[in-house]
């Protein structure tokens, strides 16, 4: 099968064949709640396009993004190795589609394929590394740098350079005030890096955005290449997260 999902593309044909017959193509909308806290996962979704955001609920019922996944990853895979109950809300960040497969079918494939188990371990390790890095980033870096990093991450998951997000959504995602987002977006626009008007953000200068972003963007990009190489690595070559360190300023 032809796929843009990085995990599926890394699997040998014989191992992919354990999953492919059970796939069903599904789509999701921007802002759609895919699962809420306490609900059971029934399927695993390998994304082909778009992005899904995991949000954590804080004081007063506000939601702050704690992680996200695009076509480099999969939604619900970690749940297949545990009780399968959601501990965070997940919503469509960018409308897209993917290959859905029943949780039980994934668990059965784990039992039969070392390559699929290896894929799941590498991806879980990467996700943990990313969450730790985002936590450090949110604590240490400016709103402007974090916004640049976040926009670049979205750009990596889409084919175009036009994104549709309101100030309110960006503020909620970054865990800051609407005023802070407005000032950060205005700064990036004044530098000629983006054009932001009526909820639409056009990314004008990607290299400039990389320079404006904190080092976390480059670090996570490097981590993705390490844990999800274009060609599958044996499990024994995977390094533990504890043996690697983030950028000096994180």
Low-confidence ranges of the chain (pLDDT < 70): 60-62, 79-82, 230-250
Select from 41, 52, 51 the least CA-distant residue to 85: 41
Query: Going from the N-terminus, what domains does the chain have, and what CATH number goes with each?
Result: 6-125 (2.60.120.10), 142-212 (1.10.10.10)
Report the C-alpha gap between 174 and 190 in whole angstroms. Answer: 21
Are the C-beta atoms of residues 102 and 23 closer than 8 Å to each other? no
The pLDDT, as a whole number, for residue 236 is 44
The pLDDT, as a whole number, for residue 157 is 87
Rounded to whole angstroms, what are the CA distances from 197 to 33, 194, 203?
Answer: 26, 10, 12
149-176 per-position pLDDT tens digit: 999 999 988 877 789 998 888 998 888 9
The pLDDT, as a whole number, for residue 230 is 64
The pLDDT, as a whole number, for residue 87 is 85
Rounded to whole angstroms, what are the CA distances from 214 to 56, 192, 244?
Answer: 23, 18, 18
76-117 per-position pLDDT tens digit: 987 666 677 888 899 999 999 999 999 999 999 999 999 999
The pLDDT, as a whole number, for residue 178 is 92
The pLDDT, as a whole number, for residue 63 is 72
The pLDDT, as a whole number, for residue 231 is 56
Can you give the pTM of this predicted structure? 0.85
The pLDDT, as a whole number, for residue 248 is 39
The pLDDT, as a whole number, for residue 77 is 86
Report the C-alpha gap between 49 and 86 in whole angstroms. Answer: 22
**49-79 CB burial, b ≥16 within 10 A, e <16:** bbbbbbbeeeeeeebebbbbbbbbbbbbbbb
The pLDDT, as a whole number, for residue 78 is 75
């Amino acid at each position: 099968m032809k796929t843009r999902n990085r995990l599926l593309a890394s699997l040998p044909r014989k191992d992919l064949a354990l999953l492919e017959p059970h796939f069903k193509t599904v789509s999701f909308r921007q802002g759609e709640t895919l699962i809420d806290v306490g609900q059971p996962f029934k399927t695993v979704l390998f994304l082909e396009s778009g992005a899904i955001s995991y949000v954590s609920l804080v004081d007063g019922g506000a939601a702050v993004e704690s992680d996200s996944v695009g076509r480099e990853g999969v939604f619900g895979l970690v749940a297949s190795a545990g009780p399968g109950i959601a501990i965070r809300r997940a919503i469509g960040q960018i409308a897209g589609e993917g290959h859905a497969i029943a949780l039980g079918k994934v668990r059965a494939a784990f039992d039969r394929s070392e390559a699929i188990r290896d894929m799941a371990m590498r991806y879980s390790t990467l996700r943990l590394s990313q969450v730790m890095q985002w936590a450090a980033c949110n604590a240490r870096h400016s709103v402007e740098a974090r916004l640049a990093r976040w926009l670049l991450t979205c750009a990596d998951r889409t084919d175009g350079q036009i994104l549709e997000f309101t100030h309110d959504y960006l503020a909620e995602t970054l865990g800051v005030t609407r005023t802070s987002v407005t000032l950060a977006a205005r700064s990036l626009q004044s530098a000629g890096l983006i054009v932001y008007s009526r909820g639409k953000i056009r990314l004008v200068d990607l290299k400039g955005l990389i320079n404006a972003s904190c080092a976390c963007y480059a670090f996570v990009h490097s981590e993705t290449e390490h844990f999800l190489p274009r060609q599958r690595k044996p499990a024994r070559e995977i390094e533990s997260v504890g043996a690697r360190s983030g950028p000096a300023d994180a």
